Homo-oligomer: A and B are copies of this chain.
C-alpha cells in the first residue's frame, strides 16, 4: 500500500490517511470516555502522522531498546492523539482505546504516564515535556552517545511557561542537535486565544534568539511537514536543536468545530462524533510500519560546554568512602561532595547536576572528578530537575543539587517526577536559619514539608560526615524522589567510619535505663540536642537523644520505644517551619502507632527570621541547646 520505499516509511498519501485515522480515533476515544481533548489532538494529527510514519525510528515491540528515538508529548492533554498513535502502531487495541481511555484501573490515563511502556515521562503540567526531553537528549549525545533523536510535541499555550525557555537555553548551550520540537500553533488555549495567536514569526524569533534552528510550516501539509522533519532529522549531526513551528487549526478536519474557541477539552456528543467521523472519511484500521532504529553502537565521546571550566590535571578519584573521625568538624554539604565522588568512581551511571552553586553544595567535587558526567544547569532550577528526569529516563542515576530554598522553584517538576516514576536524587544545601547572615530568602524552611508531601518520597537529613556519606550511597538505589538535606556549617563527627545507616532507621546517640525525656533532632539541631542533654545531665535530668536522619520513612519503633521509656516526654527541635517537617514526622508516626500518653514539645522556626550569626538565629528561633533544655525541664517538671 505504501508508495515510497520501506526505508522511508509510509508514503505521504498513507500519512495523510493515517492523520485522518488519528483524528477519527481521537474523537472516538474521547467521545467514548465522555471527556478529553479531541480538538487539541486534531490540530497535531498531521504532524504526528508524518513523524511516526516516516521519521520516528522506533521498535514498537521493544520500547526499551536503547536505539529507539524518543517521543515526548509535552502537550499531554492531547493524549487521545498519542493513544491513537499507539493503536496505529499496533500496540494498543481498538478495544482498549475505546473502553480503556480515562477509565478507572486502565492505563490510558487522562494525561500520559509511564504506566505505558512507550511513554518516557508523565506530562499534563504544561511546559514540562520539553525540559524533560532536554535531559533525554543530553543522555543521548554525551552519555549513551547513540544516534537516537528526541522528538517533542508542544502546544502553543505552554510556550508561555518560563520552563520552555530554560529548556531551549540549555538545549542550545549543550548543542542538542538530537532534539526536535514540533510546536502545534493552533492559536487557541483553554479559555480563548493565546497571547500570540498564529504569529509564528514571534515564536520563531524567540526560539532562534535562544539558539534553536527554526522552521515554520503549514501544519496540515504533509509534504511540507515531511520536508521539515527530514531537515530536522538530518540536522542531528549539527550543533543546534530544531524547533518546527506549525500553523494548525484546532479541531482540524471537522468543520463544525474548526478554529472555534468553544471546544477546548470537550468530547463531542455521539451525534457530533458521528458527523465528524463521516466528514473525516470514516473509521480506518491502518497499522503503520514506521522506521526501525539502527544498531545501538555508541559513537565517540564528546566534550560538552560545562566540562571546560573543570579541565586540567585530573586525578583518578578514590573508590574508598571518605573517612571522618568522631569529633572532627565537617559540613554535611562537604561530605555530600566527597561521597558523590566515591560513588561516581564505583558506578558510572551516577551523574550530577547543579544550579550554578556547585561550590556551595560541593557538587563541584564531582564536576572536577567526572566532568563528562556533570551537567551545569546554571540558575534554572526547573531545568535542573527536568534534566535529571530525562537522564533518569535513560537509566542514569542523577544527583541534582542547589540551595534547598531554591528547590521550591522546581516543586511542580518534583511532583511530576514522582508521577513519571523516575528515580531522582535531590540534594538541598543551606538548610534553615543556621545559614546566618544571608537572611530568609536563602533559608530553606519549607523543604522538608514540600518533599515529604510527594508521593513515595524519601527524606534524609544527616548530621555528620559519616552518616551523610552512607546516605548518599543509599540514595543510589532508592526508588522515586529521594531528598538529602545538608547544612552549611561544620559540626563534629558523631559516628565511626563504617557505621551503617538504614533508610527508615534512626540512631539513639545517648540513653540510660532511666531516661526522663527524649530529645530529637537532625542536622544542626541534633548537635544542639546533644549539648542540651549534657546540660540536663548536670542538673540530674537524663535525656535520651535520637538522630532522626531518616525523616521519611521514619523509625516509628525507636520513637515509640523512646516515648514509652520517657513517659511520653519528647522534645523535637528542627531548623524548619513547624508544619510538615521533623516534628510533624514524629507526631504523625507516634499518633499512627496508637494511643499513648504523649507530651510532645515541638521547637521550630515560628517567625520570619532576619540576618544574624547562626548562634544568634538558633537562639532567636528557640531551637538551640538552651531552649531544648528548657523545654525538656518543663516536660520533666510537668
Residues on A lying within 8 angstroms of B by beta carbon are: 33-36, 76, 102-111, 113, 115, 122-127, 157-158, 160-166, 169, 173, 189-195, 202, 205-206, 208-211, 309, 356-360, 364, 378-383, 405-406, 408-409, 411-412, 415-416, 418-419, 436-442, 445-446, 449-450, 452-456, 552, 568, 577-581, 584, 587-588, 591-592, 594-595, 597-600, 602, 607-608, 610-613, 616-617, 620
Contact assessment for A419 and B191 in the assembled complex, using a CB-CB cutoff below 8 Å: no
Q: List 8 tightest A-B contacts by C-beta distance, closest first.
A: A162-B162, A124-B441, A104-B612, A449-B453, A580-B580, A110-B439, A102-B437, A110-B438
A441 to B455, CA, bound (A): 12
| Chain B positions within 8 Å of A160 at CB level | 166, 169, 356, 378-380
Contact assessment for A439 and B158 in the assembled complex, using a CB-CB cutoff below 8 Å: no
A449 to B584, CA, bound (A): 11
| Chain B positions within 8 Å of A453 at CB level | 445-446, 449-450, 577, 579-581
Contact assessment for B189 and A124 in the assembled complex, using a CB-CB cutoff below 8 Å: no
A600 to B109, CA, bound (A): 34
Contact assessment for A437 and B599 in the assembled complex, using a CB-CB cutoff below 8 Å: no
Q: List 5 A-B contacts (CB under 8 A).
A: A110-B437, A111-B438, A162-B166, A418-B608, A452-B579
CB distance from A213 to the nearest CB of B (A): 15
A208 to B35, CA, bound (A): 40
| Chain B positions within 8 Å of A445 at CB level | 453, 455
Indicate whether A126 sits within 8 Å of B379 (C-beta atoms), given known contacts A163-B162, A169-B160.
Answer: yes
Indicate whether A104 sits within 8 Å of B610 (C-beta atoms), given known contacts A166-B162, A584-B588, A595-B599.
Answer: yes
| Chain B positions within 8 Å of A611 at CB level | 102-104, 106, 108-110
CB distance from A93 to the nearest CB of B (A): 18
Q: A103-B612, A161-B409 are in contact. List 19 more A-B contacts (CB 8 A).
A: A104-B611, A110-B442, A113-B440, A115-B610, A122-B440, A125-B441, A125-B442, A157-B356, A161-B166, A162-B380, A195-B378, A405-B412, A445-B453, A446-B450, A454-B577, A584-B584, A584-B587, A592-B600, A594-B599
Q: How many copies of the polypeptide does the oligomer hold?
A: 2
| Chain B positions within 8 Å of A111 at CB level | 438-439, 441-442
CB distance from A318 to the nearest CB of B (A): 23
CB distance from A394 to the nearest CB of B (A): 22
Question: Max chain B CB contacts within 10 Å: which of A190, A440, A568, A612?
Answer: A440
Contact assessment for A162 and B382 in the assembled complex, using a CB-CB cutoff below 8 Å: yes
Indicate whether A580 sits within 8 Å of B195 (C-beta atoms), given known contacts A206-B206, A379-B160, A438-B111.
Answer: no
Residue of chain B at shortest CB distance from A601? B592
Contact assessment for A356 and B584 in the assembled complex, using a CB-CB cutoff below 8 Å: no
Contact assessment for A105 and B612 in the assembled complex, using a CB-CB cutoff below 8 Å: yes
Indicate whether A449 sits within 8 Å of B580 (C-beta atoms), given known contacts A190-B356, A209-B206.
Answer: yes
A115 to B161, CA, bound (A): 32
A626 to B506, CA, bound (A): 37
CB distance from A125 to the nearest CB of B (A): 5
A124 to B581, CA, bound (A): 24
Contact assessment for B191 and A356 in the assembled complex, using a CB-CB cutoff below 8 Å: yes
A206 to B164, CA, bound (A): 14
Residue of chain B at shortest CB distance from A605? B455
Indicate whether A617 sits within 8 Å of B104 (C-beta atoms), given known contacts A209-B206, A610-B115.
Answer: yes
| Chain B positions within 8 Å of A164 at CB level | 162
| Chain B positions within 8 Å of A378 at CB level | 157, 160, 189, 194-195
| Chain B positions within 8 Å of A597 at CB level | 595, 597
Residue of chain B at shortest CB distance from A578? B588
Q: Which of B105, B454, B600, B613 touches A610 (beta carbons < 8 Å)?
A: B105
A356 to B454, CA, bound (A): 26
| Chain B positions within 8 Å of A607 at CB level | 455
A110 to B76, CA, bound (A): 42
